[in-house]
Every structure is written in structure tokens, then in C-alpha cells.
Amino acid sequence: MGEVQIGNGVGWFELALLFLVPIKPNNLFSLSALRFWFLGLLSLRMANAMLHQTIGNLQLLSNSGTHYKVGNNSVRLLPKGFKLEVVFSKGGTYSTKFNVIQAPALQTSAVDPVLAPSNNGPNESHKKSNEAALILIRHGESLWNEKNLFTGCVDVPLTNKGVEEAIEAGKRISNIPVDMIYTSSLIRAQMTAMLAMTQHRRKKVPIIIHNESEEAKAWSQIYSEETTKQSVPVIAAWQLNERMYGELQGLNKQETADRFGNEKVHEWRRSYDIPPPNGESLEMCAHRAVAYFKENIEPQLLSGKNVTIAAHGNSLRSIIMYLDKLTSQEVISLELSTGIPMLYIFKEGRFIRRGSPVAPTEAGVYAYTRRLAQYRQKLDEMLH
């Protein structure tokens, strides 16, 4: 972070600003980049003209754009690659602060027309920003579920039944808004999320975000704003993986019970703080899953984003323990069916459990909140 003091003349500052242009082969002669810098210089000219009348502030933000306001004048631009702040003083001088940062691989500030604020009054938009839908889906049946094997963190795909369960889950949430999807790094959870979204009436395409390397970010970049608007970012995180079953992974559940005894196997599977040999307990799984939820997913809900999580029995059980404030004794008896979504409403900092949507045509599901009912109504109007 650097700071400099400059006098009244804008010329030197404009010249310095040009050195902050991110020089990359793929955007060196970009029309949008040139347009941004032209508007940036124009906004600074506006600022200079009004400096003697009032104090202003100009911020260039990599993810939310530029917001410049002096008096009743306001300019918003969309830069990439750095953060720049200009603070004006009454004495005719201004200081600048700039910090080079990296823009996310897939970000969009576009407003979904279905979710756009209606003309129901001045407070309607504010109310909506305080409410968001959270959908939890346990993955459909996997090939090792079918064979009655301990799966844990072994990466096993869905069976045909699991595929059907994922599609059915998608039908149940097809009228509920989805802005972001979080899933584990395991294929059975990712398949469930992708297949469920094929049934959503909004017809947005789920796209997995690849941030594992600079090459992965660059190679998976989308260059169409319209395509980005019709996409839903999917973020895969190992913290949402199933509980690691250690030396039980790949063993037949019944044969393991015969060998070690039903009581011991039940203790490994259903106790809160006793792990299987060289594996994780539910408590250990909850530590990583809940920490990730609080740090990464809850802020999205606070910003008004509607989030779907497709994950596993134990990672979802851990998150539900946090959402519903369950005790360690209550959570071990919690059972989650494969492919059955659970709906929560996040409002005013609270999670309200609404159960599972019964079907796309079930009226009661969409009467949970006025916002969900309005979303479905707008879908109907747009698609018919």
C-alpha cells in the first residue's frame, strides 16, 4: 500500500494512473480497458472542477467497480487488477492510496432479472438484501453405497439410482433461486450438484471455478458478459468432504461388524468424538466443515446470495449442527436421506429451517417467504 500527496493539478496524477494499467498480452489493446481508463480520467477532471466546493472520495475496487461521489455527482467504473483510493481535502490537495490485488476468476455484478427489485416501495430492496435461501443436498447413492462399503474420502461416482436422486432433488428446488453452489472435492457431490441444476427452470449453467493454479484460472476464464450472467459459479472445497473413515475405507460394513462387533462399529460410525482407526471423528469433521461455512459461505448469505451446498452425510450433519444449534448428542442421531434437499431461510442473521420441498408444484414450499413466492411468480411470467 502506497500513499502520495499531490497538489491541485490533476495532470501528474493522470500520468501516474496510466502506469497502473495492468499490462497483459490478452488485454493490452482491449476496448473495454481503454474505455475504463478514459472514463477514469474523465471522473478525475470532474473531481478537480469541484474540489473548491466540497470534499470528495474516489474508490477503484477490483470486484465492485469504481464509485465516485462529489456532492450530487456519482460515477461507477469497473477496473481490474488493483485498488485505488483518492481522498480530496478542502485545501485543494488530495492523497492517493493504491494496492495491487487479484480479481476473482468468475465474478459478476449483473442482477438476475428474476431477482431484480420490484416497484413495491422504497424499502423493498433493503428487505430482500436481508434474506437468502440456503439449500443443503446430500449426494445421491454412490457405487460403494450400493455395495455397502465404507466410502469416506474415496472418490466414487454415483449409481444410476444416485443420478435419478440428484435429478429429483433438482426438481424439488427448480423454483428456488440459486446464485452460488458449494460442493466437496469428491465427484459424487459434484455430480449431484450439476445434475440437480439441469432441472432448474432458470436454466443457468453451473460452472466449476478452477483456482488451483494461475494457468487454471486463465484457461477457464469466460470472456462473454452475457454468458457469465447465465452461469452459476460452483466452488469445490475439500473442507466439505465426507468424514475420513481411515482404515475402514473400502471395507464391507457387515463384514467389519462381524469382525469387530456391532457395538464397536456403531461407536466408530455414530459417536461424536471417537474416530475409527486412523480416521476422523464427527467432531473433527465438524471442525473443518463449520469453519469453512462460517468463513466462506455465510458471508455470501449475508450479502443476499442464494446458496446451494451439495455435500455428504457427515459434513452436512456438522453444518446443520451449527445452523440448528444442536448438541453433540442431538447431532449423532440426525439422519439425512440421499438426494433430498433441505431448505433454510437466512434472515436478519438467523437461520430458519423450512424442511424439504416436496415437489416443484407444491404451493406451500413457495409460501415460506414472500420473496420466494415472488421469485416463482416472475419465473412463471418470464417462461410463459
Active site residues: 139, 242
Cα three-residue angle 273-320-314, rounded to 5 degrees: 50
Cα three-residue angle 299-300-303, rounded to 5 degrees: 90
Q: Tell me if residue 285 falls in helix, strand or coil.
A: helix
Strand 2-6 to 342-347 pairing = unpaired
Cβ-count burial of 286 within 10 angstroms (0-12 exposed, 13-18 middle, 19+ buried)?
buried
**For the chain, how big is the Rg over CA atoms in Å?**
25
- How far apart, in whole angstroms, are the C-alpha atoms of residue 309 and residue 331? 19
Q: Tell me if residue 200 falls in helix, strand or coil.
A: coil
Q: Judge contact between 200 and 173, C-beta under 8 A.
A: yes
Q: Residue 277: how many CB atoms within 10 A of its CB? A: 10
Q: Judge contact between 310 and 183, C-beta under 8 A.
A: yes
Describe the strand order of the beta sheet including 65-70 as a list of residue ranges.
2-6, 94-100, 82-88, 57-61, 65-70, 73-77
Q: Judge contact between 151 and 157, C-beta under 8 A.
A: no
Q: Backbone phi, then psi, for 209, in 5-degree steps? A: -85, 125
Select from 136, 165, 166, 168 the least CA-distant residue to 346: 136
Output b/e per residue, 217-254; b: 16+ Cβ within 10 A: beeeeeeeeeebeebbbbbbbebbbbbbbbebbebeee
- How far apart, in whole angstroms, are the C-alpha atoms of residue 362 and residue 266? 38
Residue 172 CA: distances (Å) to CA of 97, 165, 292, 375? 49, 11, 26, 15
